[in-house]
Chains A and B, each alone.
Chain A
Amino acid sequence: MRRSKHTVTYLYVLFFVLLLNFVLPRLLPGGPIDFLEGGEDGPVFISDAQKVAMRDYYHLDESAWMQLADYVKGIFTFDFGQSFTYKMPVYEVIMNRLPWTLLIVGVATVLSIVIGIVAGLLSAWRHAGDHDRGWFLSMISVSTIPDFLTGMLFVLGFSVKWDWFPLGGAATPFYTPNGWWDLLIDVSWHAVLPVVTLTVANTASIYLLMRNEAIRVLREPFIEFALAKGVGSGTILYRHVLRNAILPIITMVVVRLGGLLAGSVLVETVFSYPGIGNLLQEAILARDYPLLHGLFVLMTVFVLLLNMAADRIYPLLDPRIQTGKQGGA
């Protein structure tokens, strides 16, 4: 009963977001044809025949309802049509880039969670000491630097000044690797700076939350009791503090992950990394409706799935949540 009610809520949300996805791009002033004919250095003129052909080809001459019908059909068949700018199926365009975003966002998320949690716990353990203050101040200062700035500094330092890392891109251009090992090295080498930048940008908030939660838990009587029992510091931190403080952290990570898929746009731009964020920006500027639909649907589904996952994880982490709900229902 409860589960189906939940699912229905998700379906409602999905429905409204998908509808918004259709309407919002069309509220932007100008349309795809305006973009196609308006680029700087564009052809001196586009004939009316060319324009009519374009409208016809992209179904822009159809009524909004017909376009909506196509869009809805596309959602179910996973076929969003042809991208205006890339002139190939939207699905392919997105799939060419999605793995790259998942790579840097995924690795950066894992890293920032691990670093944030460990640093937060240790910091809380040493609360009101010099170590704690040092960590705290440095994290606060790092979190105030916007990620594109960190990224640019990294590029200037590590790529331009010292030739350690590439200027950008996801792989060495025109390079045919000898086997998967070569490929792995090449890809990792290109991913280092974007991953580090994203990690730096995301660690601080996790650290701060972890630290504050841990400090709160450390004041609880059961910690005092555990200490009195002579339980080791590692066990206390892992078994008692972390497990009691993890819920808000999970919430935060889930919310962040949803945003990261699109939010890595600045980092992707700085490192000219071929990811989803970059693509979204291009699609908006070009009023590439089909590509926008595809991207928005992808993001919507991604965020909803994450939320659903969080809903399932909470009761596992804290059984009180589940019982509480059942009691209320």
Chain B
Amino acid sequence: MRFRKISYLVLLLTAFILLSGCSSSNTSTPIENEKAPQTSTAEAQPSIRIGWQDSGYPSPFAFKSSGPGGYLRNSFLFDTLTWKDGTGVIPWLANSWKVSEDGLRYTFTLEQDVKWHDGTALSADDVVFTYEYVKEHPFPWTGDISQIKSVSKTGDSTVEFQLNNKYAPFLSDLVGIVPIIPKHVWEKVSEPISYRDPSALVGTGPFTLKQYDEKSGQYWFSANDNYFKGSVNVKDVAYMDAKNKVLSLQKNEINAASTLNYREAEQLQKEGFHVMKSEPAGSAVRVVFNHSHPQLKDKRLRQALAYALDRTEMASKIVGGTPIPGSGGIIPPDSPWYNDRVKTYEYNTAKAEQMLDELGYRKDGNGVRQDLKLSLIVSSTSKEAQMMKEMLKKVGIELNIQQVDGATFTSAMGENKYDMALTGHIGLSGDPDFLRLWFLGKASNSFAARGSLFDHQQFQQLALEQLQELDTAKRKEIVGEMQMILSEELPTLVLYHRPFYFLYKAAEFDRWFNTYGGIADGIPLWDNKAAFIDAKK
């Protein structure tokens, strides 16, 4: 009898488990209650489906800042005063602007008849409010608010920005990044990060969010029919987290995706996909040297390491396609800011050996320089690190690779507990002001060797000079000089620049383009909302 009781219990438990699984499967949150009767599945699918991992709730304060996905998702819903297309900075919410003689005052005239998604009209007050609000509640992407002294309304649709200093990247990297948010929504919100009311997504952008499911990274944007800038030329755009992009593309789960892998791009091109390469490349893999390391603080050793590494070989083996070995001056060769006179450090083991000998690191009987043992930390399995190890072995240097996870990596860099670190990231084709942020200890970001200054008087001076130089030609000259110093001193060694490849079907949508210098602060991707808009004449 007892045994029977137990078996009922087990049965009950099973039923419960099964039921709980079924009943809860409807956890995705429909944000707008659009009850369109569906006739067939094919029709219900969004027309453009892009593969990218989950980037968080796309409100201006809750999106994930690890990776450009969150910022881009947010940019579909919200607009900025300026934006970028294939030619550079273009007017967006502001249809024109004036700069004062001294370069400290910008006056923007806003577009007429811009409506928030809830029907309210955009006003100059919203712009003023936005910049006050983000001072207190930081916007989770870039945009150096501290450059702004004050923002004030000077007319119904004019706003004036007063700056602390002249700031060259103002139009592209500040008002081109911070989204304008509606005052009537956010003035009541004191905890913007956890704010999840549907009004958190009320922007002026070309899309509204129909559905977001955080566990599968699905975003479903539908076109905003009343967009001020023109008509939106697609019905909807969707994103989903595809673990294996190639397979998902082949199975038509997604129909557009970007990859860093040239071989994947090549393969899918053969299968009928169109491939677009990011130009300029905008992304790099580089070695960061610890300048307080007793041996690495000597620039001759850093140079010797540069000669010992065959970076062209590395790029062509790992990435494929046309290899772009790293520029000594960090800015990639295909960027408009590139200085072609920088030192390139052609692969030359004889020279490397000679320099190492001169530095006093003698080889022992086994061809190993016993006094020179270096370690390299990496945050993921890295072919670059393996190749470096092999290449350095040829000149008698023993390289010890330490693999740690992301957070450990970052904290090791923050505490200067490393010899060399290997890191890869984007943003090198945007405004060259990033060189100042990296090397003047402004960036808290680990990649910039946080907190530690690049101790070079002349470089520091130039970095501040370029920031205030509003004449592009002159600024380019200064940035060129900065690159010369960087290539001589090698505070960091770029191994190679790697382009992203965008895979898509031209028959489904063919308006994709490369944004000049990358979207916003230099994101070398294709999710630029300008591609979806037929501008009004």
Contact = CB atoms under 8 A, between A and B. Distances in A.
Nearest to A104: B21
B442 A45 contact: yes
Top 8 closest pairs, chain A to chain B, by CB: A103-B21, A39-B66, A38-B410, A30-B407, A45-B443, A106-B17, A99-B24, A30-B411
Contacts of B437: 44-45
23 contacts: A30-B411, A32-B407, A45-B438, A45-B442, A45-B443, A45-B448, A46-B65, A50-B139, A50-B140, A82-B193, A86-B56, A86-B214, A88-B214, A102-B17, A102-B21, A106-B17, A167-B251, A167-B253, A173-B218, A174-B240, A175-B45, A183-B25, A191-B21
Given A30-B407, A87-B56, A44 B218 contact: no
A243 interface: yes
Contacts of A168: 243
A49 B405 contact: no
Contacts of A110: 14, 17
Contacts of B247: 159-160, 167
Interface string A32-44: 1011111111111
Contact of A107 (B17, B407, B448): B17
Interface string B421-460: 0011111001000100110001111111000000000000
Nearest to A176: B38
Given A35-B407, A167-B251, A99 B146 contact: no
Contacts of A34: 406-408, 410-411, 414, 446
A163 B139 CA distance: 44
Nearest to A271: B243
Interface string B194-233: 1010000000000000010011101010000000000000
Contacts of A127: none
A44 B434 contact: yes
A200 interface: no
A161 to B, nearest CB: 11
A104 B193 CA distance: 33
Interface string B132-165: 0000011111101110000000000000000000
A45 B49 CA distance: 30
B55 to A, nearest CB: 11
Given A44-B443, A87-B193, A178-B38, A187 B14 contact: no
A97 B27 CA distance: 9
A53 B406 CA distance: 22
Given A88-B57, A99-B21, A31 B407 contact: yes
Contact of A28 (B66, B194, B211, B407): B407
Interface in A254-299: 272, 274, 285-287
A174 B21 contact: no
Contacts of B273: none
Given A34-B414, A88-B57, A187-B21, A49 B138 contact: yes
Contacts of A47: 138, 144-146, 442, 444
Contacts of B22: 103, 180, 183-184, 187
Contact of B444 (A45, A88, A272): A45
Given A37-B446, A46-B444, A87-B57, A171 B146 contact: no
A317 B2 CA distance: 7
A302 to B, nearest CB: 13
A54 to B, nearest CB: 8
Contacts, number: 234
Given A87-B57, A88-B194, A107 B408 contact: no
Interface of A: 28-32, 34-51, 53, 57, 82, 85-89, 93, 96-97, 99-100, 102-104, 106-107, 110, 159-160, 163, 167-176, 178, 180, 183-184, 187, 191, 243, 272, 274, 285-287, 313, 316-317
A68 B28 CA distance: 33
Contacts of A167: 243-244, 247-248, 251, 253
Given A39-B406, A167-B247, A168-B243, A174 B220 contact: yes
Interface string B77-121: 000000000000000000000000000000000000000000000
Interface of B: 2-3, 5-6, 14, 17-18, 20-27, 38, 41, 44-46, 49, 56-57, 62, 64-68, 71, 137-142, 144-146, 193-194, 196, 211, 214-216, 218, 220, 238, 240-241, 243-244, 247-248, 251, 253, 283, 379, 404-412, 414, 423-427, 430, 434, 437-438, 442-448, 521-522
A316 B6 CA distance: 8
Contacts of A46: 65, 443-445
A43 B214 contact: no
B446 A41 contact: no
Contact of A53 (B3, B138, B146, B214): B138
A99 B406 contact: no
A320 to B, nearest CB: 13
Nearest to B417: A29
Contacts of A187: 21-22, 25
Contacts of A175: 41, 44-45
A49 B145 contact: yes
Contacts of A172: 41
Contacts of A317: 2-3, 6
Contacts of B3: 243, 316-317
A184 B18 CA distance: 11
A88 B195 CA distance: 9
Nearest to B215: A274
A129 B425 CA distance: 63
A237 to B, nearest CB: 14
Contacts of B196: 88
Contacts of A96: 27, 214-215
Contacts of A173: 49, 216, 218, 238, 240, 253
A304 B423 CA distance: 43
Nearest to B135: A49
A174 B218 contact: yes
Given A49-B146, A163-B251, A317-B2, 19 more contacts: A38-B66, A40-B379, A44-B425, A45-B443, A47-B444, A82-B193, A86-B56, A99-B20, A107-B18, A160-B247, A167-B243, A167-B248, A173-B49, A174-B45, A174-B240, A175-B41, A191-B21, A274-B216, A317-B3
